[in-house]
Structure 1
Amino acid sequence: MLRFTSPLAVLSLAACATVPAGTPTAPISLETVQENVRTLSSDAFEGRKPGTPGGQKTVDYLVQQFAAAGLQPGNGDSYLQKVPLVEITGSDFAPLTVGDLSFEHGKDWVGVSYRQVPATTIADSELVFVGYGINAPERGWNDYAGVDMTGKTALILINDADFAEDTLEGPFNGRAMTYYGRWTYKYEEAARQGATAALIVHEDFAASYGWNVVEGSWTGAQAYTDTGGDGSDQTAMNGWVSNDTAAAIFQAAGMDLGAMVQAASQPGFKAVSLGMPVATSFTNSSRRYTSNNVIGILPGATRPDEIVLHTAHWDHLGRCIPNDAGDDICNGAVDNATGTAALVALAQAQHQSPPLDRSLVFLAVTAEESGLLGAEYYAANPVYPLSQTVGGINMDGIAVRGETRDVNVRGGGKSELDDYLAAALAAQGRTASPDPAPEAGYYYRSDHFPLVKRGVPMFYVKSGLDLVDGGTARGEALEAEYRASAYHAPDDEYDENWDWSGLMQDLDLYYRLARALGSTTDWPEWNEGDEFRAVRQASCAASEEGC
């Protein structure tokens, strides 16, 4: 649960969690922000899709902007980190058969291969229901206990075992999703367990989106980071089945889906074989290409090897489904030209401010829209050791709807970063609002997360909804309007009439947080019992200089 700090407590926070004395209002240039958003979201950049001329134009522009802002090259003598990508497109899908049942691709199930192979064949693979597919030693929970998954297909429930709770209390934080509830984790764990395939049961509320989203996202070309191998450490197939499909499977096995969900939600659940073989097949075509992360640095004055990170994704969707006017360019002005422009403007502001003890690194990552791929590549191949990365700030889709009384905190209550945020917000006269949809797991769905899962504490603080002009009702209405009409659509375009005051509030907050992290000698820790505490401690223990 997010810890809300009283004004008296804020005043008494330890030095590790205060804004440095005399921190000025951030010297952030609105003109710089506007020019970068206007340029990056123009039709000339064709929606900034990696692997296209528009993507390359974006990278070239950001290199120029980083240099002009005063950043030094962040990767040796280069501003670039090459990100090798592979695009795999499945076709010729056979039905998914489970025992005597047959299910139609797209309508009933979807599946892809993470392996770079010409064909995928699943045959006579025993189907095993593994509950929520969680192995969490620190929480005393292991859905795979006592089962050998070699050659078998895991049938897995989405979200956490206690997601249906009304509160944020429970073995997996109740309504608030943990990483164990994310589909990415479930596929990773199934692969670690040696499964041949993994199928997640979709349910609208538990997933926080409908089957149409699954069908649209999991058919067609899929992009992944190219690790240099053939992906043989992954399952042969990862996929989803609809809730109706899962119910039919359990019924054929003489079981009830609802009853099995209830059983899987209890501590001590044991995996259950459904006694039916799984089979399907499809062909794969692959395309390799290279994109780039863009990296700049402001070296610290006294402890330059200690890093405070800023992240934002520069990419968007390129050309997409046309709107009524025939416009087929998804310009991505809010998502995420705003966050990318914030990198440039904050770098410029920090360069014009007194140097900090620690280094500030600004990282514009590629291929977020394909699954956080640029961030994942950096986290797996960090230019600056993660054990020497103190923490950071991720910026994705900064709102342009006016000043707010609050900010929306995703990932609150997980680490000592809460205290830094409380102090910075007190200096601004704003408050922290908890995530309004903790069950959706948004903290695990943006570019900070590949760093987080490797132990680096990161802020993900979104624009607030309590508008000075119109309150929460107007803020929620404007957010809903953006989601319905512009998000991931051609109408997410630059507007000269935007109210930039709220965005500038947010940038001032990010500036203050970086000043605080960059001037302290402390290292924020994950809270006791958090799922990322152990990996951070292991990372720190392996390094003589970090943490």
Structure 2
Amino acid sequence: MKHTVALLFLPLALAAACSREPAPAAPASAPTAARPTPLADLPAVDGARLLEQIRALSSDEFQGRKPGTEGEVRTVAYLEQQFKALGLQPGNTDGTYVQDVRLVGLTPAQKRPFTVTGGGKRATFAWRDEVVAWSKHVADTASIENSELLFVGYGVTAPEFDWNDFKDVDIKGKTIVVLVNDPQVPSATDPTTLDDNVFGGRAMTYYGRWTYKYEEAARRGAAGVLIVHETGPAGYPFSVVQGNLGERLDLVREDKGMSRASIEGWLSLDAARKLMAMAGQDLDALKKQALTRSFRPVPLGLSASMTIGTTARTMASKNVLAKLEGSDPALKDEYVIYTAHWDHFGVGEPVDGDRIYNGALDNASGTALVLELARAFTQVTPKPRRSVVFLLVTAEEQGLLGSAYYAEYPVYPLAKTVAVVNIDGINQWGRTRDLTVIGLGASQLDDYLREAATEQGRTLRPDPESEKGYYYRSDHFNFAKKGVPALYLDSGIEYVGKDASYGTQKRDEYTNRDYHSPSDEVKEDWDLTGAVEDARVLFAVGYRVANAATWPEWAPGNEFRAAREQMRRP
């Protein structure tokens, strides 16, 4: 999980990765269905049944729904049963409701602690409390040995912003220390504000994601890469990082992960200060330097050693999917996809004696809502002209792996996929006057959304926490970067009958207490009336897109538009 940003800036190679299958011509103006069925006449999601589904999926019976465990077996069987009971067709063209996703599970163990030496000093950093590390190498052990330490700012190479934290410094075989998030550069005219033209200003871009930093380190041949954790820029406390010290999953890769750095991981903020002090450096001063284009990597005069032992196992996890075939013979081979991830963290580190990471909000709630939207689609009249696919993906919590696999090996061509609606968490605190759109302004799907929300007397608002980079933290991103217009909502923040601070208070409460914790369970104070209203809007968007004369487009200038246009080349 969870959320996102409006206008992002990805490396050109990322945006170019897409299918070349031709697709229908798209409109130049915002698409609207002719006299769409009023929202009030569309099927509604039943709040009591939605809550019942969430309780079932987040119960201890499903053991936290971790891929590759008995919890997955039970979850997949349950989801297949639900789709069959609704009378939906198997979503896979092989006649099944599943798509196999080959994963490798890697469980790290410290064989030799992270030890830093230099200048006559030596320090060992505590496993879990100060350093959380692992290796993506499918091998018994992975090590760094007297590896030179470099501070490389934010670890970003972004030609479109004339930004290169590495300059001409060769980091091959070295271990780099990088800051979390991307540079939030002060405005040249007003240092108290941010330059919105560089890395989105306050909003995080993909360059700020930890996944990018590990990828860039691998591209440059680093032996190790450690990210300095800070709760605000990361969007979650260090306890979340600590809670992920168990088995980590990855897609099965031909190179067995050997192209990655040997050691990847995080340093706590206090550990990073301790490290910099050993080098005679001040972390806060280095952070200020890193906000300038002139920044150059700083040799720390230290070397690091560490050995990680890894226990590996391979598994065939499952994406689960079902289809409602379109009613129009000319359009039924075009697809609207609703997606959510079914997985969470399974059984892990105990917190207050509880070891089951039930993931009620994240994302039993989104999975349950897709099931209930599927139920509504079986009841709507007239049936949608285009086909509607309900895709529940695996291993989102491990790096969006299930959706990445589907986007790379789609059951239905992405060039024929009209739109994706992603659901990662629902509103569990009551009705709101607004809807938060992660990436507001990115595509014409917002026009459909605005039309439906207006029928409820509600408004759209941009992500209030765009600095946390939520656009890159859920499954719609893998479709967007391939060029498919994707919509992703979060809860509104103007709660009916509550004071203005209530929404922010509840978001912070969840982030600090329940996010990726065993305490993410159904609470007594949950009120799904807001989720039901949101569901009606999401249903209307998908239904109207499935019936529209034209396809929704990315907004002019959006970084994903080029990938969509690439699909249309003969």
> Could you tell me the TM-score, scaled by structure 1's length?
0.87
The verdict on how the C-alpha distance between 1:266 and 1:526 changes in structure 2, with shifts beyond 3 A counting, is farther
Secondary structure of 1:184 counterpart: helix
What is the CA distance between 1:523 and its match in structure 2?
A: 3.8
**Given residue 511 of structure 1, which amino acid in structure 2 is its aligned partner?**
F
**What pairs up with 1:104-503 in 2 under 5 angstroms?**
104=125, 105-162=127-184, 166=193, 169-217=196-244, 219-300=245-326, 301=328, 302-319=330-347, 329-353=356-380, 354-479=382-507, 482=510, 487-489=515-517, 492-494=520-522, 498-503=526-531
1:28 equivalent in alignment to 2:44:
yes
Secondary structure of 1:173 counterpart: coil
**Given residue 123 of structure 2, which amino acid in structure 1 is its aligned partner?**
S
**Given residue 16 of structure 1, which amino acid in structure 2 is its aligned partner?**
P
Residue 102 (structure 1) aligns with: 123
What is the CA distance between 1:171 and its match in structure 2?
A: 0.1
Q: Distance in 1 between matches of 2:455 and 2:34?
A: 8
Secondary structure of 2:334 counterpart: strand
The verdict on how the C-alpha distance between 1:424 and 1:269 changes in structure 2, with shifts beyond 3 A counting, is farther
The verdict on how the C-alpha distance between 1:129 and 1:29 changes in structure 2, with shifts beyond 3 A counting, is closer
What is the CA distance between 1:168 and its match in structure 2?
A: 7.4
Per-residue displacement from partner, 1:153-176 (whole Å, max 9, x unpaired)?
222111111167755724011111
**Given residue 417 of structure 1, which amino acid in structure 2 is its aligned partner?**
L
The verdict on how the C-alpha distance between 1:275 and 1:373 changes in structure 2, with shifts beyond 3 A counting, is same
What is the CA distance between 1:149 and its match in structure 2?
A: 2.9
Q: Distance in 2 between matches of 1:174 and 1:233?
A: 32
The verdict on how the C-alpha distance between 1:331 and 1:243 changes in structure 2, with shifts beyond 3 A counting, is closer
Q: Distance in 2 between matches of 1:47 and 1:453?
A: 29
8 Å contact 1:19–1:516 — kept in the other structure?
Answer: no
The verdict on how the C-alpha distance between 1:501 and 1:526 changes in structure 2, with shifts beyond 3 A counting, is same
What is the CA distance between 1:443 and its match in structure 2?
A: 2.2
Per-residue displacement from partner, 1:116-135 (whole Å, max 9, x unpaired)?
01111212433333221112
How many residue pairs are counted as aligned between the two chains? 530
Q: Distance in 1 between matches of 2:155 and 2:113?
A: 24
Secondary structure of 1:418 counterpart: helix
Residue 7 (structure 1) aligns with: none
Residue 16 (structure 1) aligns with: 31
Secondary structure of 1:36 counterpart: helix
**Given residue 64 of structure 1, which amino acid in structure 2 is its aligned partner?**
Q
1:52 equivalent in alignment to 2:49:
no
What is the CA distance between 1:341 and its match in structure 2?
A: 1.7
The verdict on how the C-alpha distance between 1:61 and 1:190 changes in structure 2, with shifts beyond 3 A counting, is same
Q: Distance in 2 between matches of 1:348 and 1:113?
A: 42
8 Å contact 2:204–2:469 — kept in the other structure?
Answer: yes
What is the CA distance between 1:191 and its match in structure 2?
A: 1.2
Secondary structure of 1:287 counterpart: strand
The verdict on how the C-alpha distance between 1:190 and 1:420 changes in structure 2, with shifts beyond 3 A counting, is farther
8 Å contact 1:466–1:472 — kept in the other structure?
Answer: yes
Q: Distance in 2 between matches of 1:365 and 1:109?
A: 31
Per-residue displacement from partner, 1:341-366 (whole Å, max 9, x unpaired)?
21122122223332334332211112
- Unaligned stretches of 5+ in structure 2? 8-27, 187-191
State the identity %.
44
Q: Distance in 2 between matches of 1:321 and 1:400?
A: 26
**Given residue 235 of structure 2, which amino acid in structure 1 is its aligned partner?**
S
Q: Distance in 2 between matches of 1:394 and 1:155?
A: 34
**Given residue 409 of structure 1, which amino acid in structure 2 is its aligned partner?**
V
8 Å contact 2:420–2:479 — kept in the other structure?
Answer: no
Q: Distance in 2 between matches of 1:281 and 1:331?
A: 32
**Given residue 28 of structure 1, which amino acid in structure 2 is its aligned partner?**
A
Per-residue displacement from partner, 1:194-247 (whole Å, max 9, x unpaired)?
222212122232223333333332x23222222354111222111122334434
Per-residue displacement from partner, 1:54-94 (whole Å, max 9, x unpaired)?
32122112112223334322211111011222221222332
> Could you tell me the TM-score, scaled by structure 2's length?
0.83
Secondary structure of 1:450 counterpart: helix
8 Å contact 1:163–1:206 — kept in the other structure?
Answer: no
User: Of the candidates 54, 73, 78, which is equivalent to residue 61 of structure 1?
Assistant: 78
8 Å contact 1:103–1:245 — kept in the other structure?
Answer: no
Q: Distance in 1 between matches of 2:344 and 2:402?
A: 12
Q: Distance in 2 between matches of 1:421 and 1:108?
A: 45
**Given residue 503 of structure 1, which amino acid in structure 2 is its aligned partner?**
A
The verdict on how the C-alpha distance between 1:96 and 1:163 changes in structure 2, with shifts beyond 3 A counting, is farther
8 Å contact 2:217–2:261 — kept in the other structure?
Answer: yes
What is the CA distance between 1:485 and its match in structure 2?
A: 5.9
- Unaligned stretches of 5+ in structure 1? 4-12
The verdict on how the C-alpha distance between 1:491 and 1:279 changes in structure 2, with shifts beyond 3 A counting, is closer
Q: Distance in 2 between matches of 1:180 and 1:516?
A: 34
8 Å contact 2:345–2:357 — kept in the other structure?
Answer: yes
Residue 84 (structure 1) aligns with: 102
Residue 6 (structure 1) aligns with: none
Secondary structure of 1:95 counterpart: strand
8 Å contact 1:69–1:345 — kept in the other structure?
Answer: no
RMSD: 3.0
8 Å contact 1:37–1:341 — kept in the other structure?
Answer: yes
Residue 9 (structure 1) aligns with: none
